[in-house]
Amino acid sequence: MIRIEHINKKFRRLQALDNISANFYKGQVISLIGPNGSGKTTLIKSILGMVKPDSGKIFVKDQPVNGDPAYRSDIGYMPQIGRYPDNMKVGQLFDMMKKIRNADEKETDNDLVLQFNIPAIYEKPMRTLSGGTRQKVSAALAFLFSPAILILDEPTAGLDPLSSEILKEKIIYEKKKNKLILITSHVLSDLEELTTHIMYLQEGKMQFLKDLETLQEETDEIKLSKAIAKVMRGYETDNKWIDQIFLAEKKDERIY
């Protein structure tokens, strides 16, 4: 569904993406993992057409990303930080998105709208919402139009435990519908029950793209954080980041 061919992106002296090539298929849940600044968000924004690579090509359903933007109608995107017009009410935001997408109410997926009780805040301006509530709005919008591809950037960041579980259950449900799902997260425990494949980025380079079972077999580790750490010990990598993951998981905290 998504084909990436030798893309490179540089921001001044920073090589954000360094000759990345990969193929993502329907039914996969790809977890994009790596330290801050490894290129995860740049890769996502390149797929969405928000960042233009310096070289290389990206195709979504065989349509080039730098061509007709209509391909985006097949993608539901949940940003790490949702930025919306401050004075727009929540209900107005949803109405606007439905009009832009020309979507009939019968065609929309309102599961998260209802489970997060979004109608109760329809009259609230976006500027009044807490970070966690904004995340709920972003999640509900990402799934609203039943897209074939979901791109979720740190989806559980700021969510309370119950809301986080609701969202993970929704991701698992959509996974069973054979959709392609890309997730970035620093909370590896959130990914273990969701992911089918791991893509590890380090300083803009793809270190590996493996299915979860292969990674577990090669490392003889069931826990994702330990499997990742064992593989990455063999690379010149930021061991402090790996150590932070272990410390955070022991304390049940999140690394951002």
Please say if the pLDDT value at position 237 is more than 60. Answer: no
Above 90 in pLDDT, residue 58? Answer: yes
* Span 166-187, pLDDT tens digits: 999 999 999 999 999 999 987 7
As a whole number, mean pLDDT of residues 225-235 equals: 77
CA–CA distance, 208 with 212 (Å, rounded to integer): 12
Average of per-residue pLDDT values in the chain = 88
The whole-model pTM stands at 0.86
What pLDDT is attached to residue 107? 81
3-state secondary structure of 93: helix
Q: 117-152, pLDDT tens digit by residue?
A: 999 999 999 999 999 999 999 999 999 999 999 999
Q: How confident is the model at residue 254 (pLDDT cuts 50, 70, 90)?
A: very low
Cβ burial of 247 (10 Å; 0-12, 13-18, 19+) is exposed
Question: What is the set of domains in the chain, with CATH numbers?
Answer: 2-251 (3.40.50.300)
pLDDT value at position 136?
A: 96
Q: What pLDDT sits at residue 251?
A: 52
| For range 207-221, the mean pLDDT | 91
How far apart are alpha carbons 2 and 60 in whole angstroms? 5
Evaluate if residue 35 carries a pLDDT over 90.
no
How many Å apart are CA 186 and CA 38, to the nearest integer? 12
- The CA angle 99-104-105, to the nearest 5 degrees, is 105
Q: State percent of the chain over pLDDT 70.
A: 91
E-assigned strands of the chain?
2-11, 14-24, 29-33, 55-60, 63-64, 75-78, 149-153, 180-184, 197-202, 205-211
Residue range 47-53: mean pLDDT, rounded:
93
Q: Measured between alpha carbons, how far is 193 from 9 in angstroms, rounded to an integer?
A: 32
Q: Are strands 63-64 and 55-60 parallel, antiparallel or unpaired?
A: antiparallel
- 116 alpha carbon, distance to own chain's centre: 19
